[in-house]
Amino acid sequence: MGILLVARAASAADAATPGAVTAPYPTLENISLEWALTNDDNANATATVRFRKAGTTTYRDGLPLFRVPAGSGEGFDWTSKLSGSLFGLEPDTEYEIELTLTDPDGGNATEMLSARTRAIPALPDAAHEVAVTPSSIADALDAAAPGDVLVLADGTYDEIVVPNDGSATEPLVLQAANAGKAVVEGDVRLDGRAHVWVENLTIHGKIKATTPTPSSSAARPSTPKTTASWRTATASRAP
């Protein structure tokens, strides 16, 4: 009898208990997906995905979600979940997403979710341009306000750390006067920043962006050591 009770308890813990489904980090062409999960101690639950544009009838298959056990690292904590992304989507478009959870131990479920990709940002008509040089960029960044466009003259710049935010209607923009000729020898740091764009700089480093409370972003990233065109509605990284 004791052995039978232990076996039943193990089976109950192995059965997945699905939680909320979210799409927390949409970008211009991608939608991330997270399905909260508890139990499933043997980690054999899987989830398939299919999606379609809102208002259409034909579904496309997405990549299956992968299992992410609870953990922590780099200042982030996360709970047990299934996670994945949809790729190659159209900007500013609503999608209907069907997720199907399967667990041999029990807990099967199907959930529907609607999510929208971000729109391609555009400069406001009344943007305030500020001419910047390698010697003046530190002061310009300290004084920058929503709606400012810092136009970087040709030259070599040290690591750039952006200390201020833009806003949804008035982003803060760092833009090369001539594409690729403002060269950053180091990283461009957007840690904790919101509504900041970086465009047409050559960056011999990385664009680094984190925030304590990640939110969705709209970005055009490029490989370091090339001309960077990167627009972020809220700089963020998910764990």
pLDDT at residue 50, rounded to an integer: 98
> For residue 121, what pLDDT band results from cuts at 50, 70 and 90?
confident
N- to C-terminal Cα separation, the chain = 44
124-159: burial string, b at 16+ Cβ within 10 Å, e else: eeeeeebebebeebeebbeebebbbbbbbbeeebee
Mean pLDDT of the chain: 84
pLDDT tens per residue, range 33-63: 999 999 999 999 999 999 999 999 999 999 9
- Residues with Cβ within 8 Å of 47's Cβ and at least 6 positions away in sequence, in order, are 35, 64, 65, 82, 84, 99, 100, 101, 102
Structural domains in the chain, sorted by start: 20-116 (2.60.40.10), 128-234 (no CATH)
Query: Residue 223 pLDDT > 60, yes or no?
Result: no
Mean per-residue pLDDT, 118-134: 87
Query: Residue 209 pLDDT > 60, yes or no?
Result: yes
> For residue 137, what pLDDT band results from cuts at 50, 70 and 90?
very high
- Residue 16: closest CA among 78, 82, 105, 79: 105
The residue count for the chain: 239
Place of tokens 């009344």: 126
